[in-house]
């Protein structure tokens, strides 16, 4: 991997829809601010009464059972986003044979997306439904028995909302150009429907980047897969990237001042991390891409039956690492850890003195901002983080003393430090920055911030960060280490 990147507020009126025992919210889902011109989908007249107590009823689809249909009305044309809570009894991404339940969603009979449900715990997800015209529509959910592991028997969907963004809004522009991703079917990885059990593309976000042409901008779309079966090994992923999910930019396109894609500007991340001009098919302006390597690079020719349309409604904030999007979608951490456990990649017992991947609850998760001088040497002079514990002479290092596992990119980067099991914040004596050259060039590093530091809880969800440090600490060949944080005495 060389390249990029529990509860929540709701607004709106809840109501029963069309006898399907499902809920459509009239306001923005997930607390997302609806841009000017956005129109909520609304239940058909006479669809039902308000849900009691503010609790959304669930609908269940079962293996071998009927589809469930929800009629709704769109007040104005635009790009539609489906938000829902999903869970599947008896399913866990960490259990072979019961990794997920797959539900296929259709709009007006048009296959829109597969929803891979990796947990029996409610998880909020968003999906792009594509362009919808004003008027009545039908949303249909089917239990996908062919692509669901045999241990999955049913799936429950609740808090369903459809939000429609006008095409001239900023969000409408983002959604109109968002890729559709197809699943992976590499023969060397065995079974069909691979994306239902390994390296699933569960989440997507966007960034708006500057373009060379005044008035233009570049839309970049990034995907988070649960892991990568090929590419960087898992312990190195933890050291260099601070996680074992795979986060890759997928597609860039330049749009002009009117929001129209510039012909020939669409590019995607192809095999071997090449950037290639997109030459595949579209649905409207949406490119069709397929996961086609074991480390989740893409192809612009699609032939897999599984289809994924995650809605990239969230934008990566400036100055944050890509892993920030996992922090604000914490359900991704348990899925990440469960894949490592199921695939036998966790050493037992965990031992921070070895480079093997330990229980991911034993790591301290950090994000550190730094620059190199000269900047061109950033790939040669790496940064690692060390942790000393009270009463323990060892210095636990993020890179396990392997220079090639240091952070070799400027900006705010995520990393982790493996510590003895049971370590908590109160056990930490100091956190230090370490200049860790891969190739000695004499370059210096300036560390300017630690934007978060946390452990995973017993449930693998992130705890609150206990550190937010800013400053200016220079690391040189003569002075290669410095304390960034120590608890107040």
Q: Is the pTM of this model over 0.75?
A: yes
Distance CA 357, CA 348 (A): 9
At 196, the pLDDT band (50, 70, 90 cuts) reads very high
In this structure, what is the dihedral angle of CA atoms 388, 389, 390, 395, given to the nearest 10 degrees? -40
Which of 10-19, 187-196, 215-224, 402-411 shows the lowest mean pLDDT across its residues? 10-19
Tokens of residue 398, six digits = 């993020």
Tokens of residue 385, six digits = 């983080």
CA distances from 75 to 41, 48, 132, 165, 207 (A): 7, 19, 10, 11, 28
Q: Looking at domain 348-485, which of 2.60.60.20, 2.60.120.1440, 2.60.40.3140, 1.10.240.10 is its CATH number?
A: 2.60.60.20
Per-state percent for the chain, helix, strand, coil, to nearest 5: 10, 40, 50
At 191, the pLDDT band (50, 70, 90 cuts) reads confident
Distance CA 20, CA 165 (A): 25
Q: Are 251 and 267 in contact (CB under 8 A)?
A: yes
Q: Are 162 and 80 in contact (CB under 8 A)?
A: yes
- The pLDDT tens digits for 255-271 are 999 999 999 999 999 99
Nearest to 206 by CA among 163, 237, 172: 172
* Fold of the domain built from segment(s) 6-165: Jelly Rolls (2.60.120)
- The pLDDT tens digits for 432-461 are 999 999 999 999 999 999 999 999 999 999
At 190, the pLDDT band (50, 70, 90 cuts) reads confident
Q: What residue ranges do the domains of the chain occupy?
A: 6-165, 177-345, 348-485
Nearest to 172 by CA among 138, 219, 137: 219
At 9, the pLDDT band (50, 70, 90 cuts) reads very low
Distance CA 88, CA 102 (A): 9
Tokens of residue 178, six digits = 């968002």
Coil/strand/helix, residue 429: strand
Q: Which whole number is the average pLDDT over 307-312?
A: 98
Residues 6+ positions from 355 with CB-CB distance below 8 Å:
235, 400, 402
Tokens of residue 261, six digits = 């894609």
Which of 36-50, 81-95, 191-205, 369-383 shows the lowest mean pLDDT across its residues? 36-50
Residue 232 has pLDDT above 70, yes or no: yes
Q: Residue 238 belongs to what H/E stretch?
A: helix 234-241
Distance CA 427, CA 392 (A): 10
Residue 140 has pLDDT above 90, yes or no: yes
- The pLDDT tens digits for 270-287 are 999 999 999 999 999 999
At 489, the pLDDT band (50, 70, 90 cuts) reads low
Residue 402 has pLDDT above 60, yes or no: yes
Residue 45 has pLDDT above 70, yes or no: no
At 201, the pLDDT band (50, 70, 90 cuts) reads very high
Characterize the bridge pairing of strands 180-182 and 286-291.
Answer: parallel
Distance CA 245, CA 392 (A): 31
Distance CA 384, CA 417 (A): 9
Q: Are 465 and 452 in contact (CB under 8 A)?
A: yes
Q: To the nearest whole percent, how much of the chain has pLDDT over 70?
A: 88
Coil/strand/helix, residue 30: helix
172: left (phi over 0), alpha (psi -120 to 50) or beta: alpha
At 46, the pLDDT band (50, 70, 90 cuts) reads very low
């Amino acid at each position: 991997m060389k390249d990029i990147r529990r509860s929540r507020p709701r607004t709106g009126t809840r109501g029963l829809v069309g006898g399907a025992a499902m809920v459509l919210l009239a306001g923005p889902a997930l607390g997302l601010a609806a841009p000017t011109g956005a129109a909520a989908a609304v239940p058909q007249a006479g669809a039902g009464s308000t849900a009691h107590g503010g609790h959304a009823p669930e609908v269940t689809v079962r293996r071998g059972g009927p589809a469930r249909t929800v009629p709704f009305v769109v007040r104005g044309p635009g790009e539609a986003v489906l938000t829902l809570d999903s869970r599947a009894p008896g399913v866990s991404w960490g259990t072979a044979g019961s990794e997920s339940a797959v539900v296929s969603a259709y709009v007006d009979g048009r296959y829109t997306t597969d929803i891979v449900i990796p947990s029996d715990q409610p998880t909020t997800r968003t999906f792009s439904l594509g362009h919808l015209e004003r008027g009545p529509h039908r949303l249909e959910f089917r239990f996908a028995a062919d692509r669901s592991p045999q241990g999955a028997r049913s799936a429950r969907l609740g808090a369903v909302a459809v939000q429609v963004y006008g095409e001239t809004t900023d969000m409408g522009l983002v959604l109109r150009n968002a890729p559709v991703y197809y699943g992976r079917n590499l023969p060397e990885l065995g079974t069909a429907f691979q994306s239902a059990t390994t390296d699933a593309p569960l989440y997507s976000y966007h960034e708006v980047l500057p373009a060379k042409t005044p008035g233009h901008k570049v839309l970049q779309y990034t995907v988070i897969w649960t892991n990568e079966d090929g590419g960087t090994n898992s312990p190195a992923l933890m050291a260099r990237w601070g996680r074992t999910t795979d986060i890759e930019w997928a597609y860039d396109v330049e749009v002009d001042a009117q929001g129209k894609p510039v012909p020939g500007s669409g590019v995607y991340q192809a095999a071997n991390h090449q950037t290639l001009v997109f030459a595949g098919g579209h649905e409207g302006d949406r490119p069709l891409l397929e996961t086609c390597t074991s480390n989740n690079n893409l192809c612009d020719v699609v032939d897999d039956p599984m289809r994924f349309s995650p809605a990239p409604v969230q934008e990566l904030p400036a100055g944050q690492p890509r892993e920030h999007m996992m922090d604000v979608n914490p359900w991704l951490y348990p899925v990440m850890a469960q894949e490592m456990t199921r695939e036998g990649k966790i050493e037992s017992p965990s031992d921070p003195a070895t480079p093997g991947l330990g229980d991911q609850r034993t790591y301290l998760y950090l994000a550190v901002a730094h620059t190199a001088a000269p900047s061109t040497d950033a790939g040669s002079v790496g940064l690692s983080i060390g942790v000393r514990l009270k009463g323990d002479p060892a210095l636990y290092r993020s890179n396990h003393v392997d220079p090639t596992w240091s952070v070799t990119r400027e900006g705010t980067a995520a990393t982790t430090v493996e510590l003895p099991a049971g370590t908590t914040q109160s056990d930490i004596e100091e956190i230090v920055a370490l200049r860790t050259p891969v190739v000695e060039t004499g370059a210096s590093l300036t560390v300017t911030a630690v934007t978060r530091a946390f452990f995973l809880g017993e449930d693998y969800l992130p705890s609150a960060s206990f550190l937010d440090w800013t400053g200016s600490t220079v690391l040189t060949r003569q002075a290669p280490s410095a304390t960034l944080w120590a608890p107040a005495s």
